[in-house]
Chain A
């Protein structure tokens, strides 16, 4: 039995470990498109600010994969899944077969049609490689511009604040837009931002970016012109489902799965930030939220792939510490 896992994040790595524990002789291949050993993405900000060491960031190592007899293929992207042939195709055209497949590709920041043309001017803040590149650039950076929604914006602001940068935050609404955070905590958050002298541009969005003399000029819909040494911007965090396009596997924003983490194609499972899971009491599909949920989904997917039959129980809340404020974030509105 060959289990192939696409994605080395929390869900993928947990699934690999779970499968291997249940099926010692099964062949487990785990594929990731980043060229580093799997790490905890939620600690990147801590790592950037020096609060967390590389050793703490990386939750796996060469020895781990060797000891578990799991074959890791890193730095290699899967381009397409062929559920009828039970094969996957890599970006480098290699075709690999599987008996059971887990898609755990996570999600990543995406740019809409307005920002897309400026992609090369926008610094991404998502992978370990991004962080290393930012570290390289940091000495020449004084001011940064952030435009994006959700908790990740707060996380980024926190990171930039800790390394001592002046921050301008552009948001479409009136206030910082974090729908997952308890509304009574929002006030705390606003004051925390205010204390830190963050330049808040509300009811606005970026419409153009230019690079002038190694600095960036950002133009907004309202006609403002802002300068920064780094620009971070995204429109949404979207599940990475490119490899499933036109495969017949059902995808809304994320991959639609049932409580056993099965997708609509036989022998294809999905878990973590790339899925939308159907919740019978909520009567809707929901996108995963947070590291613990991803770990749990990976564990359930792994168990079911190895022949068990277990249903996923949702972790409803997650605790975050942002700018010194403990925030309880819920999985849904």
Chain B
């Protein structure tokens, strides 16, 4: 690998004579009201950076409103090193909506910059002026976004693209990479759309060139290859599609809708179908019907939808019908915060429903795991005839990252345990077996008949409320959870294997933990983390071994009551240091690092 290319630089924090280091890790936040095109900005910047081979992560934070008062932000962190999380603070704030961006300034790091619109019509009161809130240790760049957008598009639309042009100049990013992204984004719509957007971009670029000729410079490694970009929702949908998914039923809900949209588009290409049904109750019903008929099926939802589905999930457990339910978690309870992240659905996933109701619960930590994990989920559901609740979250689902995904494609994948020819004729739908899994005959196949039901039943499927039958059948359903351990991946230990501080976490929090561990290591404190996609059941031995080798255990998670810590305590009898992060934004690596160091201090004293 060649060293980074280097030319002269003007450091913004130290205007002159300061350090000559180029920026290598930058976070840019676009803030606007919904409709300002904040997301488009994020996509274009991410696309451009990925094409330059930079590692990056994009996070969108929306309000639930479409237009009007609601604010949304997109933050893009890009670096010539690996990006594990969104990090702490941002380098650049682009205020597409001035007033709404004011509160974002607190996240801008000293020496960073704020790009604000300087052609807002009318008298702008001081309190509403973004420029008025820029402290002296941050550079403010006024750009007439609205005016230039008007010049380019004839309307107020296109402020975002003007701002992209400004950003491109100010950070000396290669223009062509952006123009290429504009082509990708607008080229399909119409040649006029492309033309006006390129014009808007160029106007923003030229404006800054004329008014702020001194630009910052970024380290771009020459040898980097262009990188593909995925969101967790993309990866998840494609993972399922590549792994034999044939049917999808769902109901729109933020932040899961995208999965359905992808399936709607892709499934018919392989003989599958997506149906948007009237509610989540209908969605889970459809999925169970399809699995019953022998097709791999899935639904995706968020907390409120999962709540609605609880009753049907009980039926799926009882009737041993496979179902894959993706829950892209958002802030709860009830309608809660549809556009904010929280890891609060663990309990309903584990325990929601009536009766003794065993089900599989999984939680991916990375975008890559969204892909591989959903494939495992489909396999487990079909093989073990059980509902699988797959807990993604808003942050994992919607943020975009550069990642490499090892494609695994098997479009007719089937893990159904089929009956032996010898069993046919005396076929029992719920036959008692060693692993609890009964061979499954599907409609259309010859060899037997059955009726499934939500009532307790005998191995043949007949309703039966006798105590010993209920015990036997309950025991059978729980036995499947133990049996599937042979198919589960072992848990991984990351970080310093010899460290005494061990961290166990779940879901998307892992990225911030890994970066927090690196920050702590820079201060001389070593730690390790156990990474496991399985919540229930788990590879219990690897957990016990990890706990035994750690003097203190930290369990960080984004919910109020420590739902995962509660599970670990009851399952393994440990007494961990719990970190209940009340966050609607991505978890701060600095906070994780501080906690590691605090725990280290406690250990040494």
Contacts and interface: CB of A to CB of B under 8 A. Distances in A.
Interface of A: 35-37, 47, 53-55, 57-58, 62, 65, 72-77, 89-97, 128-129, 132-133, 135-136
Q: Which 7 A-B pairs have the closest CB atoms?
A: A54-B17, A92-B118, A94-B129, A54-B16, A72-B136, A94-B124, A95-B123
Given A91-B142, A95-B124, 11 more contacts: A36-B15, A55-B17, A62-B137, A74-B140, A76-B142, A89-B123, A90-B131, A93-B119, A93-B122, A94-B124, A128-B16
Interface string B490-534: 000000000000000000000000000000000000000000000
Contact of A132 (B16, B117, B118, B129): B16
B484 interface: no
A132 B10 contact: yes
A59 B97 CA distance: 35
Contact of A57 (B16, B121, B136): B16
Contacts of B15: 36-37, 54, 58, 128, 132
A37 B136 contact: yes
Given A54-B15, A72-B136, A76-B131, A95 B142 contact: no
A62 B118 CA distance: 25
A77 B118 CA distance: 11
Contacts of B139: 35, 75
Q: Name, among A54, A73, A92, the residue most crowded by chain B CB atoms within 10 Å (CB to CB).
A: A92
A37 B16 CA distance: 11
Contacts, number: 83
Interface in B1-29: 8, 10, 14-18
21 contacts: A35-B141, A54-B17, A54-B18, A58-B15, A73-B134, A74-B136, A75-B139, A75-B142, A76-B140, A76-B142, A77-B142, A92-B116, A92-B117, A92-B119, A93-B119, A94-B131, A94-B132, A95-B126, A96-B132, A132-B16, A133-B213
Interface residues of B, number: 31
A37 B15 CA distance: 9
Contacts of A90: 124, 129, 131
A27 to B, nearest CB: 12
B355 interface: no
B48 to A, nearest CB: 24
Nearest to A65: B136
A4 B266 CA distance: 62
B214 interface: yes
A324 B124 CA distance: 52
Interface in B108-158: 116-126, 129, 131-132, 134, 136-137, 139-142
Contacts of B18: 54
A143 to B, nearest CB: 22
B66 to A, nearest CB: 27
Contacts of A135: 8
A139 to B, nearest CB: 9
Given A36-B15, A132-B10, A92 B134 contact: no
B16 A75 contact: no
Most buried by B among A72, A76, A91: A76
